[in-house]
Structure 1
Amino acid sequence: MKKLKKFGLVLLVIISVIVVAGVIFMTHMKPDYSGEKQLSNLSETVDVYYDSYGIPHIYGQTEEDAFRALGYVHAQDRLWQMELLRRIGRGGLSEVFGKDVLGTDKFFLSLGIDEASNQTVVELDLNTESVKLSQAYLDGINQFIEDGPTPIEFYLTGIDKSPFTLVDIHNTLGYMSFSFAQAHKTDPFLTNLKNALGAEYLTDLEIDIDPSSTLIQNHNPKAIDTVRNTVITSVTKTLESLHIPLFEGSNSWVIGPEKTKSGKVIFANDPHIGFAQPSVWYEAHVNTPNYEKYGYHLAGVPFPLLAHDRKLAYGMTMFENDDVDFYFEETNLNDSTQYKNGDGWAAYEFVNKSIKVKDAEAVDFTFKKTKRGPVLNGIANQVSGDRPISMWWTYTDVKNEVISSLHEMSSATDMAAVEKALPKIHAPGLNIMYGDAKGNVAWWATAKLYEIPDSIHTKFVQESPEAFPAERRYLPFAENPQAKNPPWNYVYSANNQPDSINGKLYPGYYLPENRAKRIVQLLEPKNDWDRTTVGEMITDVTSAVDPGVLRDLAKVLDVKNLTKEDFQILDRLNSWKGDHPLESVEATIFHRWEYEVIQAIFMDELKVEQFEEFLSTHMSKRVIAPLVNKPNSVWWDDVKTKDKKETQAEIVQAAFQDALVSLRKDFGPNVNDWTWDKVHSIEHGHPIGQVAALRSFFNVGPFPIHGSREVINNLGFRYNSEGYYKVGSGPSTRRVIDFSDIENSMSILPTGQSGNPFSKHYKDQAQMFLNGEFRKMMLNKDEIIDKADSKLSFTPQ
């Protein structure tokens, strides 16, 4: 008995030691939000006041001091995120996650992001203000790497910390430019479809511009062969599985003084990005005697992409323009090292790369380049076919001045200064939204747009190298779509097609008019907007298009073939307003029915893999509303039934029945149980959260969530046969900035400010985000100091 007691005592001591050691480890791993630290190269003390949500308010005497402190505090909350984002463009994921992501590394290396970043840095003038501030920010990151605790993800993956450089900043921005990626999904798919089915099948796919849809209005009086392509599918799946955010879309609107209750501008913006943990933006308020911005920063990028101060606010949405083109190349049959170039032959450039792989030897690989760009065939066997396909991309074709532009924007004090910085943004294409305290509102589409011959369709792989020369004639920025203080007194963007300017409608991969139509529908009649009503609008869950689609489907049903119960369901649907609250039954039925219709329309012509590719494109969202109004479209016939030709009515009727059968199977016969909260959910995933035992520690969620795809509160998902919709992307922040009461402007993040799972700010905003709530963005120093949760001071070393 004594031995048993002694053993129990020893065991208790061991457990106590483990617990104490665990507590000490966890305490050591937390970010330091208070106290004093020495920082190299500071000229004077920098004070950082943290508010109750972990947002740093940084006060320094010089910009270099403030940005050095920003780098440090950003790194202690987001170093792991910085590490992942800088690795993508340089092909460095395999070193962390092993051989399964080799194909993704090969693809990104072949794109030339890392090569372009290195060339950009070589050409930088190190004495410019943007470079000096960037270097100060990097110094802060690197001092945290040297002095601060190592984030737990580095221990779990077994990688070492290493200093950040200017090349890393540009690689992160290069990945951002790529992440839109709609051309990679769409162009090879359409080329294959045309070759397999013929041009007749392309007519109703909404691949061209529809001038009858809701367009963003310009106001600028001064202006002038078969190929199997799974490369982007594979890459996208890899990035999604690692929960690395992809840029998707966004909403923004800026309301002029004539339409607000206060007579002052109100600015709203919610960029739509793939959900991940941590969320993409890091908020920081930086203040010096000559500079102030409350900004939203990408991990590892010094200057904010979204920001405001007392004078002005700016934000962004994706422009969705076409900045990628693919070419079929012709290899010389007598010399496989040459390709057709005009009337003659040119030598392929062979590029050799080496990729470090976790727990394995480094992998060497070689790819070919033409003057148009890298040849994608053979890169991890993701593009197959007899003919080589090369890729031309604006991002690597044009001098990179994005960092300079972001610095100029963040330093701007008026509309003219912001506009002056925008021509330097060449890719990705962005809609920059603007409002200020003087009453100005503006929207500019930023991108290096180029002249496209009338004979060229950019959404197909180019058949002839001479059909669309790689040497583009870029248009002056003044010809870009834009609107400054338009007579309708507001500007907006919802990734929809801009109207023509100088007679041009620019091609792109624009999203359907759904959100745009709803935004205009709400903005146009109302002239007494305030912060509260704009906050309600930014969380709106009603579709302006879905009820019309439902009515168009319902009117072709033969009600004589419906049971009494089915007729009651249809009657219930007919009164649906298109809203998507958690308790909605109608939303659940509509989306299940719409998917069954889409599957019936397209699955017979497309293989399963092609159908999945189709669902991943914006085109799949654009096509359904117009197609239901085209009863004679070739797509309605089921080509698998050779002896008959199906009608639209037959397809829609069968889809309705299939939807109801599947809903009864999943949720039972009581229609009131078919609520939206059972099928629509969100989980903010962390790469380490893929390990089942660690999921609950690193991931945030899952939660049922209201909203839907292509409503203003755009919580997007991809249709699937199961009928359960896991939200993949949505508002990465929601901001409402009211220039009549700038002190009470408001924001929210999807989870929390910190990416450190031991921080109390890892997920402290998650429930607020779900509820559509906001928190204050403080600018007043006295209030910030008075309400500060903690203070961290950096002193010269």
Structure 2
Amino acid sequence: MLTLFRWLLRIATALVVLTVVIVVGVYYFLSRSVPDYDTTWRLRGVSETVEIARNTWAVPHIFAQNDADAFYALGFAHAQDRLWQMTVLRRTAQGRLSELFGDRTIRTDELMRRLDLYTLAQESVAAQDDDTAMALDAYARGVNAWINLVNDRALGRGAPEYFLFPGEIGLWQPADSVAILKLMAVQLSGHIESEVRHARLSALIGEERTRDLMHEDDSAGVAAMPDFASLFPTLDPTQLAMAPSVPGEAPGEALSPFRSWDFAGASNAWAAGRLRSANGGTLLANDPHLPFAAPSIWYLARLELSTGGVTGGTIPGIPAIIAGRSSNIAWGLTTAYLDDQDLFLEELNPDNPEEYRGPDGWESFETRRSIIYVADQDPVTITLRWSANGPILPGRHYSLASVTPPGHVAALSWTALTGDDTTMSAAIGMMRAQSVDAAIAAGESYVAPAQNLMVIDGEHIALQMIGRMPRRSEDHPTRGQMPAPGSDPNARWDGYFPYSANPRFVDPETGLIGNTNNKPLDRPFPLHVSYDWGDTVRIQRWIRLMRQRTVHTRESFIEAQLDTVSQAARTLLPLVGAELWFQGDPAPEGTPEAQRQLALQLLADWNGEMSEHLPEPLIYAAWMRELQFRLIRDELGPTADMFEHMEPAFISRVFRNENGAGIWCDVVQSAVEESCVDIARTALDAALLELSGQYGPAIESWRWGDAHQATHDHPVLGEVPILRLFVNIRQSTSGGDNTLMRGLTRGGPPGAPDPFLNVHGAGYRGVYDMADPEASVFIISTGESGHPLSRHYDDLGVLWRRGEYIPMTLDPDLARAGGVGTTRLEPAP
């Protein structure tokens, strides 16, 4: 027995030692790819010595003797910290994810191939101006310099993910950067889904009730909109009603860039002129919203160029400050929601499916084959087809099959589908601009995705929509709101409007400009910009905050940027609960009635602040979510699943009975006529029952932050059971779908898991004060490094969650002082 015990002890000890050795070995190899920020490299491709001074948070401050070397160093720094992220972005744009990840990404690759973004990016390289061509080339050489160092010095393959997904790291090309910029257009565009949604609703419930649910411009004569079914008589109504709703592409697929309409983009930007500023200088606050991930899509950097220093937020893979400031200007962006996409239903020739009906007869598709290579499987060959209106998309994407009649296919016209895309030149030009006028002029080259450029200098403030605006005929059959017949010449685009037609606001009398993805102006079709907007209520809260002060400061702009009061909650709760407050005697403790009374009492005393520490935001969000589902499910059936988030304007219309919208409260299938009070009560009871099952019966112990956690998840390793504990960043957060500090919830149909997780918001925040530019502050939602073993993987995320910021100086001496090290790039002999 003693001998057995000794052998067991020896085996156990050996296993422990072996485990320790393996862990230490794995850690050693993985840590090899954590870059050393305090070193000197002798490299080809750089003409003079360049310094990359990293501050306390590892933000690179790049000092070069010429612009080419500055862009070279930016590419080098991006690759040091985010090489894996850049590789995945490039593969996404190329439609080559499946080479690494297998069949889980085939659908994404297929759609990217059909859009052909990478081919268009390659063509667009030649369209850039000389300055941008220089920047793209120098940046690519900088990225490749780090890739070569990784290979030559065995630096852990550049990122730990490469050990799990082996393969050659291809050298960076200028087209890769242009392709990533086009990829951003994919994420920030949602009018395809909007057209499909509108068509299905129109056929199911008619135009009047459709307007209840859609964010439409009633001043544009929407009442004259034709019934969708009348445009395509062969379309089966049951096809519209019963088809499953699949917003965007591959729901839940973290690697997919395709998002539903709710996630198409949202941002905040506001500016104050000198007369509305306490210190006499102009002010600007900006926080672009994108899906959360670890690492963030944003990366802070500072460049010294021949036109002066510039600092702010970059996107790895793109050689430009996307939003930030120089000594003379500051600028930010919000999604413009320009209607830059149209769906066309092309009629196929019954005798030759390779032809479609054009305005003057049958025309031939442009076709070619494309091979998708799949890890551990046989390759997949697809046939790409284009009509004169754009690429042909399969019916399984965007629920297109539900609105495509027999004998037809869907084609997409989109401003981003062009081979002369000079958006990169516009980005470089805006970064170099020295005045508001110069920045606006640079925006003329911008193509897609359409953005609102908010820009200030020492004297002026302005908002300019940048991006090509399609020119539609005044006789367009659907005004771009629904799919149109591809053969109708009135439906086809007639080029683009001139840049001067884009909305522009310069130095308004109020001294303030703001945009929260709201409708900025009223113009008739076809100059209307869009019928669908990303916000109807956040702008109201912003106006209220701006009116509370005669003059503003950097601190008041920060306060507004971090504001978590839901104007939607303040508006809806008095409407929905008008007949429920304080009804009846106190119910016996422990009964559903008592729980309802307590919930209503809490909501009655609540100011609408979506604080992570309170139960009221959770009660409100669950109630409104359940209420909307009960209002629309009986009329829409499975189509109701398209509405994954509560629409405040819809619930307001229903409970105000605007244009008879109160009819939604009656359940069509029941014999009894339900009132809005009835459905509000039953929805609240159902919401409380669901919350009790998840968080326990004690309402006072519920916390919004437990449900509303920011999900900075690694898009690849974040799903691996053990690794997810190390690579995912989860934080309890305040805010919600309709607050200025927006934290868009995951949403989903009833029964969807974790519907209140915070998945989309301000990954970058900047506040700029031109009276004292050095007092400007910045933050991103994770850290500069994409390496989970780096202490800079999530250090900025801690500050971001607390609503704190960091400074980023343009003073060379301050930038070089302290920090975590200085990397020197010297020319090799």
> How does the TM-score come out when normalised to structure 1?
0.92
Partner of 1:218: none
Q: Give the alignment partner of residue 45 of structure 1, picking from 43, 49, 57.
A: 49
Q: Give the alignment partner of residue 654 of structure 2, picking from 622, 627, 634.
A: 627
Q: Which moved more, 1:584-593 or 1:380-389?
A: 380-389
Q: Secondary structure at the match of 2:254?
A: helix
Deviation at 1:27, TM superposition (A): 3.6
Partner of 1:102: 106
Q: Secondary structure at the match of 1:584?
A: coil
Partner of 2:334: 317
Q: Secondary structure at the match of 2:494?
A: coil
Q: Deviations over 1:88-133 (max 9, x none)?
A: 22211111211121111111111121221122235556xx111011
Q: Give the alignment partner of residue 724 of structure 2, picking from 695, 720, 730.
A: 695
CA contact (8 A) 2:183 2:257 kept: no
Deviation at 1:307, TM superposition (A): 2.1
Partner of 1:21: 25
Determine the C-alpha separation between the residues in 2 that align with 1:205 and 1:9: 66
Q: Secondary structure at the match of 1:431?
A: strand
Q: Percent identity?
A: 26
Partner of 1:493: 515
CA contact (8 A) 1:103 1:379 kept: no
Q: Deviations over 1:127-147 (max 9, x none)?
A: x11101111010010111111
Deviation at 1:501, TM superposition (A): 5.4
Determine the C-alpha separation between the residues in 1 that align with 2:784 and 2:543: 32
Deviation at 1:231, TM superposition (A): 9.2
Determine the C-alpha separation between the residues in 2 that align with 1:477 and 1:87: 33
Cα gap change, 1:301 to 1:381, in 2 (>3 Å): closer
Determine the C-alpha separation between the residues in 1 that align with 2:360 and 2:782: 57
Q: Secondary structure at the match of 1:579?
A: coil
Q: Deviations over 1:22-49 (max 9, x none)?
A: 4532441211211100121222110111
- Show structure 2 runs of 5+ residues with no match: 221-234, 588-593
Deviation at 1:502, TM superposition (A): 8.4
CA contact (8 A) 2:444 2:466 kept: yes
Q: Secondary structure at the match of 1:516?
A: helix
Q: Deviations over 1:588-625 (max 9, x none)?
A: 221111111101111112234x2232226xx9454233
Q: Secondary structure at the match of 2:567?
A: coil
> How does the TM-score come out when normalised to structure 2?
0.88
Q: Which moved more, 1:497-506 or 1:227-236?
A: 227-236
Q: Secondary structure at the match of 1:716?
A: strand
Cα gap change, 1:234 to 1:496, in 2 (>3 Å): closer
Q: Which moved more, 1:22-31 or 1:85-94?
A: 22-31
Q: Give the alignment partner of residue 133 of structure 1, picking from 132, 135, 152.
A: 135
1:87 is the counterpart of 2:91: yes
Cα gap change, 1:637 to 1:59, in 2 (>3 Å): same
Partner of 1:167: 175
Q: Deviations over 1:419-455 (max 9, x none)?
A: 111111121110111112x221111111211333444
Letter of the structure 1 residue corresponding to residue 826 of structure 2: T
1:349 is the counterpart of 2:376: no
Deviation at 1:69, TM superposition (A): 1.2
CA contact (8 A) 2:66 2:305 kept: yes
Partner of 1:659: 687
Partner of 2:226: none
CA contact (8 A) 2:422 2:446 kept: yes
Determine the C-alpha separation between the residues in 1 that align with 2:145 and 2:712: 30
Deviation at 1:528, TM superposition (A): 3.1
Q: Secondary structure at the match of 1:284?
A: strand
Letter of the structure 2 residue corresponding to residue 498 of structure 1: P
CA contact (8 A) 2:40 2:824 kept: yes
Partner of 1:747: 778
1:233 is the counterpart of 2:247: yes
Equivalence map 1:385-464=2 (5 Å): 385=404, 386=406, 387-397=408-418, 399-436=420-457, 438-455=458-475, 456-463=478-485
Q: Deviations over 1:661-690 (max 9, x none)?
A: 333343344331233123211221112111
CA contact (8 A) 2:421 2:447 kept: yes
Deviation at 1:288, TM superposition (A): 4.0
Partner of 1:587: 617
Partner of 1:768: 799
Q: Deviations over 1:481-532 (max 9, x none)?
A: 1211111101111001111358953224312322111111111241232222
Partner of 1:550: 573
Q: Secondary structure at the match of 2:271?
A: strand
Letter of the structure 1 residue corresponding to residue 417 of structure 2: T
Q: Which moved more, 1:762-771 or 1:627-636?
A: 627-636
- Show structure 1 runs of 5+ residues with no match: 213-224
Partner of 1:710: 738
Equivalence map 1:501-516=2 (5 Å): 504-516=527-539
Partner of 1:574: 604
CA contact (8 A) 1:541 1:708 kept: yes
Deviation at 1:3, TM superposition (A): 8.0
Determine the C-alpha separation between the residues in 2 that align with 1:243 and 1:473: 27
Partner of 1:219: none
Determine the C-alpha separation between the residues in 1 that align with 2:245 and 2:324: 35
Partner of 1:370: 387
Cα gap change, 1:556 to 1:8, in 2 (>3 Å): closer
Deviation at 1:460, TM superposition (A): 0.8
Q: Give the alignment partner of residue 154 of structure 1, picking from 141, 152, 162.
A: 162
CA contact (8 A) 1:258 1:527 kept: no
Partner of 1:74: 78
1:725 is the counterpart of 2:756: yes
Q: Deviations over 1:344-399 (max 9, x none)?
A: 11112223111111112221111322111122236679643523111111111473
Aligned length in residues: 777
Q: Which moved more, 1:619-628 or 1:586-595?
A: 619-628
Q: Secondary structure at the match of 2:619?
A: helix
Deviation at 1:475, TM superposition (A): 1.5
Q: Secondary structure at the match of 2:382?
A: strand
Partner of 2:223: none
Determine the C-alpha separation between the residues in 2 that align with 1:482 and 1:239: 38
Cα gap change, 1:197 to 1:738, in 2 (>3 Å): same
Partner of 2:590: none
CA contact (8 A) 1:29 1:758 kept: no
Determine the C-alpha separation between the residues in 1 that align with 2:398 and 2:745: 28
Determine the C-alpha separation between the residues in 2 that align with 1:257 and 1:622: 35
Q: Secondary structure at the match of 1:666?
A: helix
Determine the C-alpha separation between the residues in 2 that align with 1:660 and 1:24: 50
Partner of 2:230: none
1:603 is the counterpart of 2:624: no
Determine the C-alpha separation between the residues in 1 that align with 2:712 and 2:819: 28
1:528 is the counterpart of 2:551: yes
Q: Secondary structure at the match of 1:330?
A: strand
Deviation at 1:287, TM superposition (A): 1.1
Q: Secondary structure at the match of 1:392?
A: strand
Q: Which moved more, 1:555-564 or 1:535-544?
A: 555-564
Partner of 2:824: 793
Q: Give the alignment partner of residue 191 of structure 2, picking from 183, 187, 197.
A: 183
Cα gap change, 1:39 to 1:181, in 2 (>3 Å): same
